[in-house]
Structure 1
Amino acid sequence: MPENTFLTGLTTRFTPVIDAGFSLDTYQHVDLSINNPELSQAQLDSPEAFQQYLNDFLRKQGKQVAFGGYNEHRGLYKRSGLFSAAEDEELIRNIHLGLDIWAPAGTAVLAVLEGRIHSFKNNDNFGDYGPTIIIEHEVDEEKFYTLYGHLQKNSLQGLYIGKQVGQGEQIAALGDAGENGNYAPHLHFQIIYDMEGKEGDYPGVTNKKDLNHFLQNCPDPDLLVKVR
């Protein structure tokens, strides 16, 4: 398993994973945790209401792209049984493992580093990733993976396992709520050390019980993106 310092050294500056036309100074961190008093459950339950919240937030900040969410305890997943079916509070999945970047549907999605297509799938459950692409990277004999979720369905067309991609190459575009798992348009970007036998999918949200395992296997995506 690579060390986090190894990942940090693979990029030297801000490395966008959506359309490079958005410069770093157009990004604004957004708090989507349960501790944000301005964000109601009603807004979280509706992609349209949540998009309006983001639009208002970015307008007030004078920015264009909202980002954040790693190791964030959220109320966003209460609406889906995929995450909230467990009766034990320790087993309810509500802690986010990736970096979310909120931008308009159709925005280009870029490979953070060169690699090859490991797998892809349309995870079409309500509240799931929707179309998802996973890239395998190998540098100095160290192997790891990056996951790109909530894409347009047509992003999966023409893909095949082993297809080579270059750093900064467009691999997909952001989907809308009708195809991305029923969310306001955004990219879920995640680093994974061990895929644990999974293909086209890997947990992007965990519970308190399994949190330490997943934080070790899924380090902070900002180690590569460097948006903060």
Structure 2
Amino acid sequence: MHLLPFYFDRDPYLVLDFTAANPDLATLNLTNIDTFTNYVFGKIRAAGAVVGVGGYNEDRVVYSNSPHFTPTGDEPRSIHLGIDFWAAAGTPVFAPVDGVVHSFRDNAQYADYGPTIILEHNTEGFPRFSLYGHLSRASLTDLYDGKPFRAGEKLAEFGPYPENGDWPPHLHFQLMHDMLGLHGDYPGVCRPSERNEWLTRCPNPNKWLNIRNL
């Protein structure tokens, strides 16, 4: 399955950890975008890698100071439901299997997905829906619900800060069995108390990507 212009059986990549087990996060203020960007891409460069990866079912501490993920008095949302790929803005994204555009939207709130595309698939053995978040605004140009994409066809590009939802450049890739009636948006992070329910809805993309050590 070809999602990005990287070959994970050949190109060097770095698995990034955003849980409390990563001691780096105790001393870094990742609410500061420059600090966050320098940390992510500094780690990738230091490892001699071309892309950073990781995040599925990860209990992340990076959301703890964001009201988007942790409303006052509510249980924090911290369980990540997709895989993130950290690379330069403009990195192309390809449709992993045949599909059509289910919906799309610029989720422009702070710390949200920014430009987002959701595809619907009928490929046997593959989940029904796939989500691509933190894209460039140009990626939404000329889209329409039902627009077809063949496997391997360019779908979008990684967006730059701040149009990508105010994040360092990356792709959030998520699979879903059920859209729950939603359009252009879907939860990418859940509460720990609801973890099993959401992981059942959103299977591990690495079952199809086959990236080692994820």
TM-score, reference length from structure 2:
0.92
Tell me which residue corresponds to 2:12.
Answer: 26
Root-mean-square deviation over aligned CA pairs: 1.9
Tell me which residue corresponds to 2:3.
Answer: 17
Q: Does 1:93 align with 2:93?
A: no
Equivalent residue in structure 2 for 1:157, among 141, 149, 157: 141
Tell me which residue corresponds to 1:84.
Answer: 70
Shift of residue 216, structure 1, vs aligned partner = 0.2
Cα shift readout 1:174-228 (whole Å, capped 9, x = no counterpart): 1112101111000000000000000100000000121111000001011122222
Preserved CA contact (<8 Å) 2:98 2:123: no
Tell me which residue corresponds to 1:61.
Answer: 47
Shift of residue 100, structure 1, vs aligned partner = 0.2
Find the residue that maps to 1:53 and give its secondary structure.
helix
Find the residue that maps to 1:44 and give its secondary structure.
coil
Q: Does 1:36 align with 2:22?
A: yes
Q: Does 1:74 align with 2:60?
A: yes
Find the residue that maps to 2:77 and give its secondary structure.
coil
- Unmatched segments (≥5 aa) in structure 2: none
Tell me which residue corresponds to 1:207.
Answer: 191
Cα shift readout 1:47-76 (whole Å, capped 9, x = no counterpart): 221121122212221111000000111121
1:127-146 to structure 2, matched below 5 A, reads: 127-140=111-124, 144-146=128-130
Shift of residue 26, structure 1, vs aligned partner = 2.1
Find the residue that maps to 1:155 and give its secondary structure.
helix
Shift of residue 150, structure 1, vs aligned partner = 0.1
Shift of residue 22, structure 1, vs aligned partner = 7.7
Q: Does 1:180 align with 2:167?
A: no
Shift of residue 163, structure 1, vs aligned partner = 0.7
State how far apart, in whole Å, the 1-side matches of 2:95 and 2:45 are.
28
- Unmatched segments (≥5 aa) in structure 1: 1-14
Supply the AA of the counterpart residue of 2:201. Answer: N
Cα shift readout 1:151-177 (whole Å, capped 9, x = no counterpart): 001110100111110111111111112
Moved more, 110-119 or 19-28: 19-28
Cα shift readout 1:76-100 (whole Å, capped 9, x = no counterpart): 1123211111424xx2101100000
Identity %: 42
Moved more, 50-59 or 168-177: 50-59
Equivalent residue in structure 2 for 1:48, among 34, 48, 64: 34
Find the residue that maps to 1:122 and give its secondary structure.
strand
Shift of residue 23, structure 1, vs aligned partner = 6.7
Preserved CA contact (<8 Å) 1:130 1:180: yes
Cα shift readout 1:79-122 (whole Å, capped 9, x = no counterpart): 3211111424xx21011000000000111111111111100000
Supply the AA of the counterpart residue of 1:172. Answer: A
State how far apart, in whole Å, the 1-side matches of 2:202 and 2:82 are.
8
Moved more, 92-101 or 39-48: 39-48
State how far apart, in whole Å, the 2-side matches of 1:126 and 1:30 are.
23
Q: Does 1:126 align with 2:102?
A: no
